[in-house]
Amino acid sequence: MYRLPLVAFGLLEAAFPDRIVASGERLAFDNPGEGRLRSWTLPMARLEGLVFCWLVLSGKTNAPAITRTIGMIGLPAFLAPRRFVTLALETAYENPADLELKSWVVPATRLLGVCYVAVALFSQRARTATNQHLDTAE
């Protein structure tokens, strides 16, 4: 049931990365439209959408790798949100110093980092408990 909206979002990102990025800029920047995207930003957003769809559709097969990756992304976002945002802007934009972030972006990055780390930790705990239960059932 949850897969359909997730796949739909991934497909939208793959099909219309420019619109997704423009929406994100309007939400996050005081001066949307001022950023000059690097040449690889939109193709990477498109690839991200396709990989996201593949991961959602592959189900539990890739769950351990996905949760570890989420945790590795979440940790620096939680511990150093301003640096995390700065690095992301430097990666995606030719002129990151010209972009003016809205005041909520850095705190929201920290919150998202906490959520990512929590998902990784709780997923690992759940897998460990499930494996222990299966071991004792045999």
- Find the domain containing 75 and state its range: 3-137
Q: Which of 51, 7, 30 is nearest to 103 (CA)?
A: 30
Domain count, the chain: 1
pTM of the model: 0.81
pLDDT in tens, the chain (138 residues): 678 998 999 999 999 999 999 999 999 999 999 999 999 999 999 999 999 899 888 877 777 888 888 999 999 999 999 999 999 999 999 999 999 999 999 999 999 999 999 999 988 665 565 555 555 555
